[in-house]
Every structure is written in structure tokens, then in C-alpha cells.
Structure 1
Amino acid sequence: MAKYLLLKHYRGAPAPVNDVPMDQWTPEEISAHMQYMHDFAARLEGTGEFVDGQALAPEGTFVRYDGEGRPPVTDGPFAETKDLIAGWMVIDVDSYERAVELAGELSAAPGAGGKPIHEWLELRPFLTAPPTITE
């Protein structure tokens, strides 16, 4: 088994096929999208492939160490940014091919008009520790 991160970008580049911003969706369209995500996660819980997931609020703050003891804080990311991380899901699957298959399915979540949004999802394997050499 290998763990993968499915990173959901909001209006990232390249743009999804059904490129209607979520803030223009009806409450019913948002509910249908969220239900799809919930049902997808529940199905993967049943197969043992779901590890965790979470939607993220659009507000955020950037923080970094400044060498002076108090880290500077900068507002952002902002909703008008070209690429905003909207949420993530961690899956634990048998193969890269299965991870791609599930990412493709998740990409078909409904959006405006109930049509699949065909959004791009970032698929990232978890870094595994290199093998330890013993004498």
C-alpha cells in the first residue's frame, strides 16, 4: 500500500472544463458537490483506501521564521488568487494506477448545472524513508 495526497485546487491552472467559479454556484449545486465528495470518501472508507481529508477555508496566513525570534505574518492567500488550495484527501492504495483512477473519479464532482467540473487534482505520493543499510 502507498499513501497519496489528492490536493484540490480552486480555479487553478489549468482551469477545469466546467469553469464556473464556486461563488456563482447555487446552494443546491454546492450541496450536490459536497455530497459527492462525502459519498466518495465514504466509499473509500469501505474499501480501506480512505485515510483522511478536509476542506479548507479560503482565508489563510503566510508565516516564516525571520531569524529575529518573532516570525513575520502576511495575510493571504486571497480569494482572488489564481490558485487556492480548497482541500485535500489522503488515500492509501495498492498502486499508482489506482491513485490515478481515484483522482480521475474525484475530478468528476458536479459543479454548476450539475455537470462534472473535470477539475485538475494534484496527485502527490508521500515521501517514504530511504532504506536503511546495515552491516
Structure 2
Amino acid sequence: MSDFRAQQIAIVETYLDAGLLQHKPENVLFAENCTRWEMGYATGSGAAQLRELLKDPAYEGNEAIENRRWLVEGDEVDCFYDLRIAGLPEPLKIATRFTIENKLISRIEIYVCAGELQQIIMDQVKALSEGL
């Protein structure tokens, strides 16, 4: 693995590991003007707001991220993974594109495939975007 590719992946892993699993959003390498989009809805803007959102108790059910697959093309890093959540029999299938600028995450685009839970996920994302 090239040094550049490994560096880009390591930056993204701060979001996946510190943000989603370890509940330490202060360790995520966000750009101050970072934006997050989920399923086409804006769900966060700015490092401070994104860190605050990652403190939400809803993330405490995240148990593991498995089967990470990477596509790194310059400043765009795509990660495809399975997110295990407490109480769900099957993991959510997630595809996320991260844009990296100056070694910081400047944009996150998340798409979730949740099978029978898809509508519930969409409703939650829409409600979050309307509440911001």
C-alpha cells in the first residue's frame, strides 16, 4: 500500500473508529467547515456540530465495523463497510465517500442499505436534517 493511500485511509479511520465506535469525536480529523450528508440530506455542518452529533446516545449501539473495503482516488476516499448495531440481526451495509483536504475530512456522504429498515433509516435522517 502506498504511503499516500495509507495516510488517506488513516484520516478516514478517525471518523469510523474514534467517531462511530469509540465515542471520542474529539479525535476525528474534521476540517472546521466539514459537511455531512446522509441519503441526500444535509445532516451536519462544521466540525463542532459534527462532533456534538457523534456524542448522541444513538451511536452507543454501534458495535463493530466489518469488511472495510477502500477505493482511494486522490482526495476522494470511498469506504464500503458493514456496521453492526446492537439489537439488529444483520449489519447495515454502508457506503461512505470522504473528501480529504489538507489532511482533514472536509465532506462526508453516507448511503445506507438497511433492507426492511430502510424507511425507518430514511425517516430518521430526514428528521435530523430538518432539526439542524
Query: TM-score by structure 2 length?
Result: 0.34
More strand by share: 2
Between 1 and 2, higher relative CO (CA 8 Å, sep ≥ 6) is seen in 1
More helix by share: 2
Query: TM-score by structure 1 length?
Result: 0.33
- Say which one has the larger Rg: 1
